[in-house]
Structure 1
Amino acid sequence: MNTMTHLTGWEFAALAFAALLVGFSKTAVSGANTVSLAIFAAVLPPRASTGVLLPLLIAGDVLAVRTYRRHAHWPTLWRLFPAVAAGVVVGTLFLVWADDAAVGTSIGAILLLMAAVTVWRRRTAEVAEDPDAVVTRAGRLKARSYGVLGGFTTMVANAGGPVMSMYLLSAGFRKLGFLGTSAFFFLIVNVSKVPFSVGLGLINGPSLLLDAALALFVVPGALLGRWAVDRINQRLFERLVIAATVVGGLQLLLR
């Protein structure tokens, strides 16, 4: 894969912008990091790009947890983790044989489907669900479905953010609860993916060297996101999340 010595100035600048966007997405508009995913896949070999991006996502997750840790909804997290673990295993098996085209097409289609379902649900439902209410209804099946999809997409393309964003929005989470819950969710899930990524050869010495340089740009992105989130109302926040999901899905589907 490309290392820092093989990158042109413009390529490194593009990756630096993508790293900044990772930090912003973790503390402001979750799902926006699908744009980062597309940039990394355009500059680096697509499969290898996921190994470079994962440590940067973990850095962003740590910053997000420090910022929103008091707003996490742990019952939701415990409902999701078993299904996500199953999705990660399926995603790992998928990566063993899938080529870059299959990965991009599969994830793009899933993201667009999730966005369409979420928009339809929000237009037909008069009242948003209570996050605690999903324990007793068809919400269990929904949590498992989104969990498996989230685990699968996060393993094969680091694109689980939009899937889980759609789940948290459909469950009725408000802005800070959304950010706090997703922060812990992705910190735990992304750290658990590291052994799989190392085993697949996606994380190695050259990728970590590039990460060391790009991590410097995640911090200002996170600070910018924290500043912006207080200035975004709930309706705009939800629209931005859905829009980022659609854009990311189209980029993956059409690249």
Structure 2
Amino acid sequence: MDTMTLWGVGGWGFAALALAALLVGFSKTAVSGANTVSLAIFAAVLPARASTGILLPVLIAGDVLAVLTYRRHAHWPTLWRLFPAVGAGVAVGTVFLLWADDAVMRTAIGAILLFMAGVTLWRRRRARKGEEETGDAGSGRAKARSYGVLGGFTTMVANAGGPVMSMYLLSAGFRKLGFLGTSAFFFLIVNVAKLPFSAGLGLIDGRSLFLDAALAVFVVPGALLGRWAVRWIDQVLFERLVIAATVLGGLQLLLR
């Protein structure tokens, strides 16, 4: 990776990245999955392939703050059930990154964003109809495996596992605090595990970490804002805004 391109970001570009970092903190402590907007911004401002490596340490900073906030509410049986399938998805995503160039990465990220928006809209429609998933333990394990593999792949390729895991946790009946606590530990563990893969692919190095250090400063106020807002935020309106921004971000990447 030519890390010199990371310092070709102008004032407006850095402001956009700072806003994306703030949204990362907010999403980690308030609305999990909202950072799909952040990855669209990163991929638009930076080279698409490089953006995945630059965003990862910023996400980990948000994960640490989320764990500190909701550490008492994690459901570990759910986490242990997901991790093997997630590991398989991360491995598949790593193989994909070995041959994908910047153009392919940009298309993949855009397509993933649009897919995640479609999944979220489908989930919301089912929720309005009052539909519930039923099935035996075997179907529950199969669901965990399928969500885990897709979540591992999307989080490795585009740091976009949030909507996948959000849909899984919501379908499993998690309430707000349990959802946030389980999600916080899940992404901290998975994102830290991704570090050697990203470094081995050349997506993270010393120069990129300097940019991460500058952006991590903006994660903290975002996390504090999310911690305050989670009790008062209009979830329906915010999800609509996130979906709209995700669709626009995905289209922008595909049409660019």
Q: Which amino acid aligns with 1:76?
A: T
Q: Distance in 2 between matches of 1:244 and 1:184?
A: 26
Q: Distance in 2 between matches of 1:142 and 1:167?
A: 8
Asked if the contact 1:32/1:244 (under 8 Å) is kept, the reply is no
For the residue of structure 1 that corresponds to 2:203, the secondary structure is coil
Q: State the percentage of identical aligned residues.
A: 81
For the residue of structure 2 that corresponds to 1:230, the secondary structure is coil
Q: TM-score, normalised by structure 2?
A: 0.86
Gaps (5+ residues) in structure 1? none
User: Could you tell which deviates more after superposition, 90-99 or 240-249?
Assistant: 240-249
State the Cα RMSD in Å.
Answer: 2.6
For the residue of structure 2 that corresponds to 1:84, the secondary structure is helix
Are residue 31 (structure 1) and residue 33 (structure 2) matched?
A: yes
Equivalent in the alignment of 1:200:
201
Q: 1:28-67 residue pairs with structure 2 within 5 A?
A: 28-67=30-69
Asked if the contact 2:44/2:253 (under 8 Å) is kept, the reply is no
Equivalent in the alignment of 2:21:
19
Equivalent in the alignment of 2:73:
71
Q: Distance in 2 between matches of 1:106 and 1:148?
A: 17
- Distance 1:5-1:155 versus aligned 2 partners, 3 A rule: closer
Question: Which residue of 79, 92, 95 corresponds with 1:93?
Answer: 95
Q: Which amino acid aligns with 2:25?
A: G
- Distance 1:170-1:115 versus aligned 2 partners, 3 A rule: farther
Asked if the contact 2:17/2:215 (under 8 Å) is kept, the reply is yes
Equivalent in the alignment of 2:156:
155
Post-superposition CA distance 1:52-105 (Å, at most 9, x none)? 111110000000001111111111111110000001010000001112333343
User: Could you tell which deviates more after superposition, 243-252 or 45-54?
Assistant: 243-252
Q: Distance in 2 between matches of 1:253 and 1:219?
A: 31
Q: TM-score, normalised by structure 1?
A: 0.87
Asked if the contact 2:21/2:215 (under 8 Å) is kept, the reply is yes
Asked if the contact 2:43/2:106 (under 8 Å) is kept, the reply is no
Deviation at 1:208, TM superposition (A): 0.5
- Distance 1:248-1:69 versus aligned 2 partners, 3 A rule: farther
Equivalent in the alignment of 2:221:
220
- Distance 1:114-1:18 versus aligned 2 partners, 3 A rule: closer
Post-superposition CA distance 1:187-244 (Å, at most 9, x none)? 0000000000110111001100111111110000000011110113666677677667
Q: Distance in 2 between matches of 1:241 and 1:11?
A: 21
Q: 1:103-122 residue pairs with structure 2 within 5 A?
A: 103-113=105-115, 115-117=117-119, 119-120=121-122
